[in-house]
Structure 1
């Protein structure tokens, strides 16, 4: 019984992570498009976002490899399990796919909001990885532990450029209500959506990998050795 419980938990955990990592790097493509126009004179800022994007892609590939080693596909989870999806929907009142990149380029206010959303999301991810590295259901999986250690090392550089941009342009940091939204989204996933998925025997597996639909020029990213 315990073995089944552990397999089911890790299956869902990996499926939610691989969804969020894919959603992360494909969403950053929009941020990059905006930053290259808005901050064309700041190559350091653009390079930091490019690294963030490359890391998210790398993390996606690590989870993909983890599933491949088990000979199975991730479970089908949608944007309701995506932290950045929910945050953008609440702050901008539209989905990530419906965000107007031209409007973000043209508006300091919109780009500022987006920077805060990304920064809070990445900091939440860092705290969650710290918890998972000590989770008794995770520590027995050597590959998964290696993946989370790599993510733990990468994460601090992910929110730094966005916080740096806010500070350099005299913009405010997150307000209490923005942090409350972040906490709500995380609690909603942890205490409502994850248990519902865990108990739902009808959740299907994906029939293809999410990156099968990525444009060819966006795919390049190295996979760490040993994974």
Structure 2
């Protein structure tokens, strides 16, 4: 029973993370489109966001490899388990897929809001990974620990370009209610959605990989033993 509990927990944890990593780099494509249109000469900002996108993609590939080595597919989770999905839905009253990129390009206030949403999401991710790296169930899976060590190392550079843009353009810092939304989304996942998914019998698994239909070439696999 204890082994089942541990495997179920790790299975669900990996499934949520691989969803969020895929959602992360595909959502950043929309951000890059906006930044390149708004500030085509800001090469430093564009390069920093491109590195963020590359890291999210790298993390997705590592989690995919983790599942492949386990000989199984991720459990079927959707946008209700996506931190950035929920944050965008609350702040912009629409899904990421329906977010109007042209409107964000044209409206300085909307782009400012998007930068704060991304930055808070990345900071939340950093804190959560620090917790998971100390979690006894996670510590027993050395391959998963190595993945989280890479994520932990990469994470601080992910919020830097967005906070840098806010500061450089004289924009305000986070308000208490924005931090409150971030905490609410995290608590909703941790105390409501995760237990429900954990106890749902016969939770289906994906039948294909999230990146299966993408036109881009998959990066070379990163051996988990060398990930750290």
The TM-score, its normalising length taken from structure 1, stands at: 0.97
| Structure 1 unaligned blocks of 5 or more | none
Q: Do the aligned partners of 2:61 and 2:222 also contact (CA within 8 Å) in 1?
A: no
Q: 2: distance between equivalents of 1:27 and 1:2? A: 37
User: 2:219 maps to what in 1?
Assistant: 221
User: 1:99 maps to what in 2?
Assistant: 99
Q: Do the aligned partners of 1:138 and 1:144 also contact (CA within 8 Å) in 2?
A: yes
Q: 2: distance between equivalents of 1:14 and 1:210? A: 14
Q: 2: distance between equivalents of 1:210 and 1:173? A: 35
User: 2:127 maps to what in 1?
Assistant: 127
User: 1:206 maps to what in 2?
Assistant: 206
| Structure 2 unaligned blocks of 5 or more | none
Q: Do the aligned partners of 1:58 and 1:222 also contact (CA within 8 Å) in 2?
A: no
The TM-score, its normalising length taken from structure 2, stands at: 0.97
Superposition deviation, residue 37 in structure 1 = 1.0
Matches within 5 A, 1:79-90: 79-90=79-90
User: 2:44 maps to what in 1?
Assistant: 44
Matches within 5 A, 1:38-187: 38-187=38-187
Q: How many residues align?
A: 225
Superposition deviation, residue 41 in structure 1 = 1.4
Superposition deviation, residue 123 in structure 1 = 0.2
Q: 2: distance between equivalents of 1:155 and 1:107? A: 28
User: 2:5 maps to what in 1?
Assistant: 5
Superposition deviation, residue 220 in structure 1 = 4.4
